[in-house]
Structure 1
Amino acid sequence: MSSPRPARSGSGTWGPLRLLLRLLVMGIGLGLISGTALKLLAPRLAQGSINAPRVTGSPASQPLQALPRGIPLGRFEPHQELTGLSKKWAALAAVHKDLKASAYLLVLDDGRFAQLQSELPLPAASSIKTPILLAAMEDLDAGRLRWDQPLTMTKEVVGAGAGWMANKPVGTRFPFHEAATEMIRVSDNTATNLLIKRLGGKTALNTRFQALGLPGTVINNWLPDLEGTNTTSAHDLARSIALVDTGEKLSPRARDLFRQVMGSSRTNTLIPLGLLQGLGGDSADPDADLMAYGVTVLNKTGDIGIAYADGGLIELPNGQRAVAAFMVKGPFNDPRSTDLIRAMAAEVAKLLVPRGSAASQPGTQPTTTPSSTAAPAATPSTTAPSTATPSPARR
């Protein structure tokens, strides 16, 4: 009888392989069965006939919610009138029967406001450059204008008076950012006219002002407009600044550029000096001395002798921001006009700037000097001659 044959040496390897193959086949089969079942059950799941949470839509299928534009920084929405301030302004203006005065203040963060004939259109002088800057920044934001886009000076846009660009030859090209800055920094009239033309002309800009809610703001003539035919109101000037700083009309980047340009203004003898006088100071450099009180002002003035204006953003020590604007029309070169604007601004400081600010501490009190008309020096423009100084003409 023969002995049993020994097991083959490879039989130990085939056992696990067979098991693995069986499991693989079973897995594929279960997958096919599950997929078929889910396909058959899908309509019932969609109809909610099976006890399962009903899906109303995935995030990808839902309409995207628009994000708020810009940072929430308040709105141009008056809520509570500061009646005491409004009455004080009225009393200050009533002393001068032959002056027409307009004033407006709005604290953007809480809606407190004061007014004095705030919607009365008066000669804008160079204060109209603020809403022009707003329109220009809108075009920049929309891609219709580049920051470095060259603007060519033609004979039509040459404006006498303030600024240095008119001294350049016709045909000179200025980048948009320089024209915008010089329009505010030294109130250059040629720069302003360059922007008016680039933005579509007077009629097109007037239509845009209406759409922005600036009904009293109208351009009838090229700058300098010494006759005072271009108009605006204190309400419009304040609103044009608020629309920027609240993020309603510009992106954060364009808002930063607007503030940068407004901060270059060299004339600080109306709202800034008035605020400082309301706090007990009187200085040749109001901007610097106001900083000791925690106050910053970004403003643009206007002056054609028969009319004066100033509108600006006021940043307060408590972090709140207010927009304010003052306009006065009166006899030519009458100092009462500018004195009245400063007096009304002084009342704003008395009301909104706390007495316990940093300036009341030892060593931080602003230096008092008798001058109230000097302006700080500014860095010359990149294309202006190094010796250029602003013209003494009206701004």
Structure 2
Amino acid sequence: MLFLSRVLAGFLLVCGWIGSAPASGMTPEEAATRLFAAQKVERGWFSHQGLASAVPPLVAGLRESLGDFQRVSPCTEVCVALYTGGEFTFNITIDDDGLIAGLLIDVPIAYATSLSEALAAFEALSGEVSVVVTQEATVLGALNMDRPMAVGSAFKLAVLKALQKLIGAGKLDWDQVVRFEDKWRSLPSGQMQDWPERAPVTLHTLASLMISVSDNTATDALIDLVTRNSVEGGAPRNRPFLTTREFFLLKHRDHDAYREQFSAGNYDLKVDVLRALADKPLPRVSELVMVPFPGVEWFFSTNELCELMGDLGDLDVMKINPGVARRSDWASVAFKGGSDVGVINLTTGLMTEDGTRYCVSATWNDDKAVDEEGFSILYASLLHQLKAKAMP
């Protein structure tokens, strides 16, 4: 998730905001049932204009994707809405007047009859697709799993792997404190680009931000600290290994020549291009060319990403953001995803109560912007079927 025009934090579909005040009058179940069952959503059901405008098309889209609404299960920590063709968990806030003040909907699950059917749904996508589902070392299902494809910020798994290796060798330590350097600043996603120079930060914090919120500045800090060569050792296809700052410089609207040379060049020419860009100022978001550039990316197969997940899935930094998976369905969930214009990847490591490990990685590349929410729904269906297989 290098940069997203909208926030899909944890790959959630978000409408409005979530309040903490207890509801009175209409219960959450009653309000949600009225909302999702309605053929026409009334604007007067909401406490403010933003929700009144955003929610009706969302409700219509859910019905189109999941079929007819059936019921809302009793709400506990979360609520569950059941449709004829799928379901989703959600949180809803009702104000003192019985109006909907907040609504947060997790990625919906479209029902499939089997893991194979859920996997086959990816074949209908345009462009190129790669998917793999593994149980320990066994492949349960796959689609082009060895095809290298652009994966956006899922490349950060390779950076974490290099860090893990150096810590294991005693050359670095999770608790090691470094001082923030101005040269690490990149563009969002993340927040570290706004940190003051020389602020103290541990390597564990850098890794946590890099994985959980895909902080690009934290990522570039770690690439600098572990060295580019160390990362390339585990990702030889990606040489020279781009920092996110270099990625954004290559996507500057005035850097067409640099971009073309980098995309078409051999290793030495690519290095020369990055050296020429080194002293250029970081572009503003408005200066980026927001179209797919296949030659300016990081490339991994889904099989390689699951191998990385197998090495890294037990690290605590991998478990902060569960992505599309429901934490309650699994004993352990580790996640990293990535997206760019025309690119999306979701990679999840899962473990059952008996210690059996699974991995699901899916990538979609196209020559136009991809439907991230639609892709996430397909992925959620795959996870749902895997859960049914793993815990019948």
After TM superposition, the score normalised by the length of structure 1 is 0.53
Q: Say which SS state the counterpart of residue 341 (structure 2) adopts.
A: coil
Superimposed CA distance per residue, residues 144-168 of structure 1 (whole angstroms, 9 cap, x where no aligned partner): 1022222333333211111111101
- Residue 235 of structure 1 is matched in structure 2 by 303
Are the counterparts in 2 of residues 219 and 229 from structure 1 also a CA contact under 8 Å?
A: no
- Residue 327 of structure 1 is matched in structure 2 by 363
- Residue 233 of structure 2 is matched in structure 1 by 207
2:218 to 172, 191, 194: 191
1:221 lines up with 2:242 in the alignment? yes
Equivalent-residue separation in structure 2 for 1:221 and 1:243 (angstroms): 22
Are the counterparts in 2 of residues 263 and 299 from structure 1 also a CA contact under 8 Å?
A: yes
Deviation (angstroms), 1:310: 1.4
Matches within 5 A, 1:1-395: 85=115, 89=119, 91-96=120-125, 98-108=126-136, 111-201=138-228, 203-210=229-236, 220-223=241-244, 225=247, 227=293, 228-244=296-312, 255=314, 258=315, 260-265=316-321, 268-269=323-324, 272=325, 286-287=326-327, 291=328, 293-294=329-330, 296-316=332-352, 318-330=354-366, 332-335=368-371, 337-354=372-389
Are the counterparts in 2 of residues 317 and 353 from structure 1 also a CA contact under 8 Å?
A: no
Equivalent-residue separation in structure 1 for 2:139 and 2:116 (angstroms): 11
Deviation (angstroms), 1:332: 4.7
Equivalent-residue separation in structure 1 for 2:391 and 2:159 (angstroms): 38
Which runs of no fewer than 5 residues in structure 2 stay unpaired? 1-113, 249-292
Equivalent-residue separation in structure 2 for 1:163 and 1:143 (angstroms): 29
Compared CA separation, residues 182 and 331, structure 1 to 2 (3 A): same
Equivalent-residue separation in structure 2 for 1:205 and 1:131 (angstroms): 6
Compared CA separation, residues 168 and 243, structure 1 to 2 (3 A): closer
Identity of aligned residues (%): 19
1:101 partner letter = V
- Residue 42 of structure 1 is matched in structure 2 by none
Equivalent-residue separation in structure 1 for 2:309 and 2:141 (angstroms): 16
Are the counterparts in 1 of residues 132 and 139 from structure 2 also a CA contact under 8 Å?
A: no
Larger radius of gyration: 1
Deviation (angstroms), 1:319: 3.8
Compared CA separation, residues 301 and 244, structure 1 to 2 (3 A): closer
Which runs of no fewer than 5 residues in structure 1 stay unpaired? 1-83, 211-215, 246-254, 273-285, 358-395
Deviation (angstroms), 1:128: 1.1
Are the counterparts in 2 of residues 103 and 327 from structure 1 also a CA contact under 8 Å?
A: yes
Deviation (angstroms), 1:223: 1.4
Are the counterparts in 2 of residues 218 and 231 from structure 1 also a CA contact under 8 Å?
A: no
Q: Say which SS state the counterpart of residue 183 (structure 1) adopts.
A: helix
Equivalent-residue separation in structure 1 for 2:353 and 2:384 (angstroms): 11
Deviation (angstroms), 1:122: 1.7
Deviation (angstroms), 1:113: 2.9
More strand by share: 2
2:311 partner letter = L
Compared CA separation, residues 179 and 346, structure 1 to 2 (3 A): same
Equivalent-residue separation in structure 2 for 1:190 and 1:146 (angstroms): 20
After TM superposition, the score normalised by the length of structure 2 is 0.53
Are the counterparts in 2 of residues 327 and 341 from structure 1 also a CA contact under 8 Å?
A: no
Compared CA separation, residues 95 and 179, structure 1 to 2 (3 A): same
Equivalent-residue separation in structure 1 for 2:205 and 2:118 (angstroms): 40
